[in-house]
Amino acid sequence: MNKTGDEAASYARNLKIKTLNITKTEIIICPPFTALPPVKEILKESKIKLGAQNVHWEPSGAYTGEISAEMIETAGCSYVIIGHSERRQFFGETNQTVNKKIKQTLTTNLSPIICFGETLQQRQEGRTKNVVKSQLIEGLEGLSLDQMQRLVLAYEPVWAIGTGVTATPEQAEEVHQFIRELIGEIFNSQIADSALILYGGSVKPGNVYDLLSKENIDGGLIGGASLNLDSFVAMIKIAEDLSN
């Protein structure tokens, strides 16, 4: 819940200018709903993709305050975030509502970015893998192989979001490897190998190189550090250098 429409448009305009030389790194920005139309106009003829932060599981109806997948798509989005930890923590999101949102989103051309991860208590109790496993099995229930190819997965340990505490690259890689193996078990090895698995949790310029250098970490779901344009651009350039 940051940036008005004008602020987001200004940010997008400057981001587009500062990333003209980026050719191999996919950039997605997900501003608030009210900022989607002006940002869409700024990003025309740009390689930067637009995403939304949430979606409802019904196509329409008496759901005051909610936004449908079709509305998001027609606002110019290519992606939508589903099941972010803050949605789970503050607004009652469950694995079941995540599953319904994924399936509804896949009736459009949007690609869902599916978030999941454990709390500090769950990690301290040694339940990280069990929690992640249940979130994925229940969240992805009933999806076909073709549908899975449109998903982006984002592991975000709740204890490392907005706290300044980051999982070490080794901790993150261990869970990412587990996620890839689990996707292989639920679906198949081809889906697992091609899956895009992002890491989110206090990612910043100082740690993004070490995180993205890991074999199973394909990108970052950047939170607070993306609000500062120079910080976000610095991370994009590090990702670009790693892809060369």
Residues annotated as catalytic are 84, 156
57: tokens are 């599981």
Strands across the sheet containing 152-155:
28-29, 49-52, 79-82, 111-116, 152-155, 196-199, 219-220
How would you classify the pairing of strands 49-52 and 79-82?
parallel
Asked if residues 35 and 8 have their Cβ atoms less than 8 Å apart, the reply is yes
Question: What is the CA 129 to chain-centroid distance, rounded?
Answer: 19
- Interatomic CA distance for residues 113 and 52, integer angstroms: 10
> Rounded CA gap, 21 and 116, in Å?
32
What number of other Cβ atoms are within 10 A of residue 182's Cβ? 17
Which residues, at least 6 apart from 213, have a Cβ–Cβ distance to it below 8 Å?
A: 169, 242
Residue 212 — φ and ψ, nearest 5°?
-75, -15
Q: Measured between alpha carbons, how far is residue 106 from residues 52, 54, 68, 156, 206 in Å? A: 14, 14, 12, 22, 36
Our CA dihedral for 206, 23, 201, 94, rounded to 10 degrees, sits at 180
